Chain A
Amino acid sequence: MKLFLAALILTMGTIPAEAQWLDWPTPGIPRTPDGKPNLKAPAPRGPDRKPDLSGVWNGPNVVARPDKDNVQSWVSDLARKYQQEYFKTRPYYQCRPSGPEAERFGGWKRFLQTPTAIAILNDDLTYRVIHMDGRKLEANPAPTWMGYSVGRWEGDTLVVDSVGFNDKTWTSRYGISHTEALRTTERYRRTDFGHLQVEVTYIDPTAYAKPWGFTENMALAADTEMLEAICEWSSDHWEGTVSDGPPVSVPPDVLARYVGAYSGIYGGNKRTIEVSLSSGQLMVKIVGAADIEGGLGTAGLDPDAAQPLVPRSQTLFEGLGLGFQFIVDDKGVPTDLVEIHISGPYKFPRQK
């Protein structure tokens, strides 16, 4: 059976409604007169007067990919191949550590800071350690999933340098590879009690002509708790590729009727789905999706490129992990396009 990315099943901790920890007031934090956490209070400092990054942090989905002209051709070739395979070899989908992948900087994490080491604990139960004891980076490190990290303070900015990554991880969910020579630099600033910013830079000349990166803004998740989100079902069993021959053929005049723009609200944001016809194949482009699911199910390396829709029936199509169902009137003219997600169907009326 063909998959829709619905095959990605993450086991998220479902906590009973009466769970205490999710509502437990974090002790010892600054509060406003009405008792809420005062996220604008000054950042806490440790005995060494440096900012203390300890806490539970949460940030929006990271949408990051290198400029398509900045990657070596082998990287873009691989990205195209991974896109064809629905990104099924993404380490995260294989229940493997995400390592330095940009998207790992989003979501939930807990920082624990001691004078000699900082641990970053991710909700997928992986972690990193940043050594603060003055050691130098390994000159000839063994490749690992999480790399070797050393940190130092530049004023109130924590600067973290890392090396020693294996080449099994990606730097972006869009199938962007890196080599074992990858180096990353992170600059962390806790601007106040409730906000932590990190600027991440990837340096890997055999993969990218120039360093590239992104900035992520995290907010303190006060008065609540982080829950486990463990990958239990690897993508090993996913099958099918985008280019597997369509088992269904749809006459050109039917396809032509589906061409148009459909739009509506998804995840609180306006989304427009532009359907076009190119060389006898329906193409789809989703506008306004990047900030919702990081482009999941849409573009690969090139966010502006339209993606093919592969017919599964006269009205049902598949495109990069999402299902698309055209709703037609009695003349066969589509009135709506339904996007089929793991979380359910979303209906977008035709605009033109």
Chain B
Amino acid sequence: MRLFLLAALALIVGTMPAAAQWLDRSWPGIPRTAAGKPDLTAPAPRGPDGKPDLTGVWNGPTPEPKLDPAIAQPWVNDLVRQRQQDYQKGRPSYRCLPSGPEADRFAGWKRILQTPTSIAILNDDLTYRVIFMDGRTLEANPAPSWMGFSVGRWDGDTLIVDSVGFNDKTWLSRYGQAHTEALRVRELYRRRDFGHLQVEVTFTDPAAYAKPWGLTADMALAADTEMLEAVCELSSDHWDGSIADAANGGVTVAPDVLARYVGVYSGLYLTNKRTIEVSLSGGQLIARIIGAAGVDGGEMRPLLPRSQTVFEGLGIGYRFIVDDKGEATDLVEIHISGDSRFARQR
């Protein structure tokens, strides 16, 4: 059976009983407002050395990497296209392998533990990194590893982390941007107050990208709660099919029917406004999602017919709802988390 790809991505996220205490546990010793809530704008805590202490549980939205495809070497863009064709099934996190330096790994849940000589960043997928603060210098000729070798130092209140020694199996973004073993990563961490931690990430890898590029991730302290495991158990190894397969899938939709679906659909996805522009190009429906940058980067995606009204586009299902004249009135996006309906605007 062909997959709707997102449905195949089964991350086992801990489901906590309603009675779980830790998710509602008040953290001892943190600044609170008069109302008893965590005071996220209080000053950042500092360690015995006077430096900011980044310790805590942090959570943040998916950052959007700022990459101009024009600076990527052709082999990188070729790989990105090929991986898109394969539904990105080789993405390390889909294969239950560590994400390494991938941009999306800077989002989501993590716990930071800071000691005088090292800082550990513990991810909710049960991987971790260690940043050495004991004065060692970077390995000159590091062995390739999934998480790299990281050393940190303080520049005022900013923690500067330099990393090398990544293997070339990880990606820099979920869209399939590759890197070489020569990748260097610099991170600048700033905990500007009690509740906020920002990291600026720069990827430098001349054999893959003509210029450094990166992202900024903003994290908020997840006070008075606890991080849960989210462990990948089902690898994408068994996914099958590609976009090219799907294009030869045997369902054809008449051009005049396709033409009736062209238009602009919009509504709310989660809490963000999302607009889907459907156009026709070379006899094929194309969708572009606006306002979903964190999700799909606003890329064009071909919609491949599964029936007269159901289409598949890069892992998301799309169903057109038509009136009795065959005109589309709504477009339903079919996610693993359920259906989201977008009304036609024009």
Contacts and interface: CB of A to CB of B under 8 A. Distances in A.
Interface of A: 13-16, 18-21, 24, 26-28, 47, 54, 95-97, 110, 112-114, 116-117, 119, 121, 125-127, 129, 133-136, 138-146, 148, 227-228, 230, 232, 234, 236
Given A117-B113, A142-B15, A227 B122 contact: no
B22 A113 contact: no
B247 interface: no
Given A138-B21, A139-B21, A146 B126 contact: yes
A127 B113 CA distance: 12
Given A27-B135, A236-B237, 18 more contacts: A13-B145, A15-B142, A18-B140, A19-B141, A19-B143, A20-B136, A21-B136, A95-B235, A112-B120, A114-B114, A116-B55, A125-B147, A126-B126, A134-B28, A140-B19, A142-B17, A145-B229, A228-B147
A47 to B, nearest CB: 8
> Mostly helix, strand, loop or mixed at chain A's interface?
loop
Nearest 5 Cβ contacts at the A-B interface:
A15-B143, A142-B16, A140-B19, A144-B229, A125-B127
A97 B15 CA distance: 18
Contacts of B97: 230, 232
B90 interface: no
Interface of B: 14-17, 19-22, 25, 27-28, 48, 55, 96-98, 111, 113-115, 117-118, 120, 122, 126-128, 130, 134-137, 139-147, 149, 228-229, 231, 233, 235, 237
Given A96-B231, A97-B231, A230 B146 contact: yes
B140 A20 contact: yes
A96 B115 CA distance: 29
Contacts of B141: 16, 18-19
A133 B29 CA distance: 10
A119 B113 contact: yes
18 contacts: A13-B145, A14-B143, A20-B139, A21-B136, A21-B139, A95-B235, A112-B120, A114-B113, A114-B115, A117-B113, A127-B120, A129-B122, A139-B19, A140-B20, A144-B229, A230-B98, A232-B97, A236-B235
Nearest to A110: B130
Contacts of A140: 17, 19-20
B228 A138 contact: no
A227 B17 contact: no
A43 B162 CA distance: 32
B19 A125 contact: no
A139 B16 CA distance: 12
A126 B113 CA distance: 15
Nearest to B238: A236
A131 to B, nearest CB: 9
Given A21-B136, A114-B115, A13 B143 contact: yes
A6 to B, nearest CB: 20
Contact of A127 (B16, B114, B122): B122
Contacts of A26: 134
A144 B146 CA distance: 24
Contact of A112 (B98, B115, B146): B115
Contacts of B25: 135
Nearest to B47: A114
Contacts of B28: 133-134
Contact of A234 (B27, B127, B235): B235
B233 to A, nearest CB: 6
A119 B229 contact: no
Given A121-B128, A142-B16, A228-B145, A148 B22 contact: yes
Contacts of B20: 138, 140-142
A142 B231 CA distance: 14
Contacts of A16: 141-143
